[in-house]
Amino acid sequence: MNAERPDIIDIPEEFRIASTLNSFEPGKVLQFFINHVSFFCTLGGGYIRGYSQATMVTSEYSVKIHAPELKLNQYPAIAFDNKELATKCIIQIGRMALEKGKTAEKKRKKSLPVVNSLYKAIGSYSYCPEKIYLDEETVLDFTKDFRIVCELHHCYPKAYLEYFMNKISMAEDQAYRGLKIPRENPAAEFFHLLNLGFGNLRPPVIKSTEAQIDFIDAVQEFHARVFIIRSPDKRIAAYRDFYKTHYLNIIKEKHQS
């Protein structure tokens, strides 16, 4: 994590490749991820498509990566503007998550007014601003839920966003799926939902270029070619070279047009 510039987001190459080859804009994927991080979901309450995966990414980072980095594995105190109200809100949301007889989505929606009260009770946000610029043209707006999660876990948005992006690899995903090796990767699961049409993030009309058509034509043939490779590492390496080659061809063609 860049402690000096927590507002500078580094987009890893494999995330760019996955976004480009699937006709997504990286900024839209990140904004959609931000929109689905839910404080309610950090307290349980059941499965909610998209929200569960996105929130698990932040929880996974907080527990596995961030917490061990802190001295004595303890978080510093939070400077609540209204500690009594904040504590009351967190307890109330936790109770809502444990309610029986309601769907998780209904409980999440019911919790929103209390989340708003918690947002106001925290008041001063040291870790997460209201928005940042991904580049000169793309602004990422942080939701109340996302800012609450950042503040309570003392994490800059950069840490969560880069962790999410770094967990997405078309090469790894395709290799593990092809070899039927199960793995827990909520970031990859979230991205897979996008590929299935969740969020409708693709442009309504996609004008296929020659390089994109070449990629589509080559995919099935390549799947068949790597079928005999049973080593996960070797299969991942093969897919990584394949996807990067076609990504570079698409980018080159785009710059020439």
Note whether residue 3 is domain-resident.
no
Global pTM value: 0.93
Note whether residue 90 is domain-resident.
yes
Domain final residue, candidates 140, 166, 192? 166
Q: What is the pLDDT of residue 135?
A: 87
186 shares its domain with 158: no
Question: For the residues 19-36, what does the mean pLDDT come to?
Answer: 97
120 shares its domain with 175: no
Note whether residue 182 is domain-resident.
yes
112 shares its domain with 194: no
Q: What is the pLDDT of residue 2?
A: 40
Domain final residue, candidates 113, 140, 166? 166
63 shares its domain with 45: yes
Q: What is the pLDDT of residue 65?
A: 86
Q: Is the dihedral of CA 219, 22, 60, 8 positive or negative?
A: positive
226 shares its domain with 128: no
- List, for residues 39-94, the tens digit of each pLDDT value: 999 999 899 999 999 999 999 999 888 877 766 556 667 778 999 999 999 999 99
Note whether residue 5 is domain-resident.
no
Note whether residue 100 is domain-resident.
yes
Note whether residue 4 is domain-resident.
no
8 confidence band (pLDDT: 50, 70, 90): confident
Split into its structural domains, the chain has a count of 2
Q: In 3D, which of 145, 150, 115 has the Cα closest to residue 1?
A: 150
Query: Residue 257 in 3-state DSSP?
Result: coil
33 shares its domain with 109: yes
Range of the domain at 210: 170-256
128 shares its domain with 175: no
189 shares its domain with 148: no
Of the listed ranges 58-67, 200-209, 225-234, the least confidently predicted one is 200-209
Distance CA 233, CA 87 (A): 47
Q: In 3D, which of 97, 242, 91 has the Cα closest to residue 174?
A: 242
Distance CA 182, CA 191 (A): 16
Q: What is the pLDDT of residue 214?
A: 94
199 shares its domain with 248: yes
100 shares its domain with 227: no
pLDDT higher than threshold 80 for residue 207: no
Q: What is the pLDDT of residue 3?
A: 45
Domain final residue, candidates 131, 166, 201? 166
Of the listed ranges 2-6, 112-116, 168-172, the least confidently predicted one is 2-6
Query: Residue 40 in 3-state DSSP?
Result: helix
111 shares its domain with 179: no
pLDDT higher than threshold 50 for residue 1: no
Under DSSP, the state recorded for 162 is H
222 shares its domain with 202: yes
Note whether residue 210 is domain-resident.
yes
Note whether residue 6 is domain-resident.
no
- List, for residues 119-156, the tens digit of each pLDDT value: 999 998 999 999 999 988 899 999 999 999 999 999 99
Please provide the average confidence, as pLDDT, over all residues in the chain: 92
